Amino acid sequence: MKRCEKCRTLYSEEAAACPKCGVKEYEEAPAGEKPDKGSVARDWIWLAVGIPLFIGLIYLLVYVIKLLG
Ligand SMILES: [Zn+2]
């Protein structure tokens, strides 16, 4: 599938230009793939890594304070 750069209409590979507005510029539109899917997955990775790291940092801080006090 192709996606028109101008009007975002999805159209067939065989078509030379957009059937709606006639613009020839297009981008590849893979079936069943949403453009924001990748960024959502990246956010979850950051949460999965960031939260344990944050907890670990607090434990380290408490340990250092106990060591000094
Ligand atoms: Zn178009």
Q: Which pLDDT score, from 0 to 100, does residue 37 have? A: 65
12 CB contacts (<8 Å, ≥6 apart)?
1, 2
Let me know whether 24 and 45 are in one domain: no
For ligand 1, the distance from its centroid to the CA atom of residue 25, given in whole angstroms, is 8
Let me know whether 43 and 14 are in one domain: no
Let me know whether 62 and 39 are in one domain: yes
Q: Could you give the 3-state DSSP secondary structure of residue 27? A: strand
Contact indicator for 46, 56 with CB cutoff of 8 Å: no
Structure tokens at 31: 């079936």
For ligand 1, the distance from its centroid to the CA atom of residue 33, given in whole angstroms, is 20
Domain count, the chain: 2
Domain that holds residue 50: 35-69
Let me know whether 4 and 29 are in one domain: yes
How far is Cα 58 from Cα 50, in angstroms, rounded to an integer? 12
For ligand 1, the distance from its centroid to the CA atom of residue 10, given in whole angstroms, is 8
For ligand 1, the distance from its centroid to the CA atom of residue 29, given in whole angstroms, is 14
For ligand 1, the distance from its centroid to the CA atom of residue 40, given in whole angstroms, is 28
Let me know whether 39 and 67 are in one domain: yes
Contact indicator for 64, 36 with CB cutoff of 8 Å: no
pLDDT tens-digit series, residues 16-69: 999 999 999 998 877 665 656 677 788 899 999 999 999 999 999 999 999 997
Let me know whether 29 and 3 are in one domain: yes
Let me know whether 43 and 67 are in one domain: yes
Q: Which pLDDT score, from 0 to 100, does residue 28 have? A: 85
